[in-house]
Amino acid sequence: MSMEHQTVEKATFGAGCFWGVEADFRQVPGVVATTVGYAGGTTENPTYRDVCSHTTGHAEVVQVEYDPSRVSYDALLKVFWENHDPTQLNRQGPDIGDQYRSVIFFHTLEQEAAAIASKEALERSGAYKKPIVTQILPAPAFYRAEDYHQQYLEKRGLSQCHI
């Protein structure tokens, strides 16, 4: 009996409150798992309270594990761009602070190239009147958020944050 080997790759995105971002990615066919957490700051093993204090430098992010034979990284980028406003610096809607910044943390050079190309294409498209402030950076250490944040909206029967 042979087990079919499934290749899983990681993608990490920050696009505001991680509850809603995670819910968006969980609906994508080919996404195997999602984990919300913190990345991009200086504090090791931060708590949610630490991150909300604006002293850690961390962003709220979603680490997406996906099967590249079922969903492309470009398709994940499309979900990222379509589900937040990448022109808002350190905020999304009512959520204000550096932990809500728009950021793509790439895990490979291919992801970096794809992220840069997608950002440039979006800038050229004229979809936004203001500049896109999304950062594209190498994936740093990822710290898993507390259990109660994982699949937060799903557990509460909600599909999005801001109703």
Active site residues: 17
Residues near 111 by beta carbon (within 8 Å), at least 6 away in sequence = 11, 73, 104
Contact at 8 Å (CB) between 118 and 77?
yes
- Which tokens is 45 given? 């093993």
The residue to which tokens 């050079």 are assigned: 109
Sign of CA dihedral 21, 158, 28, 47: positive
Sign of CA dihedral 96, 125, 27, 158: positive
- Which tokens is 41 given? 């700051």
Closest by CA to 132, choosing from 102, 106, 96, 97, is 102
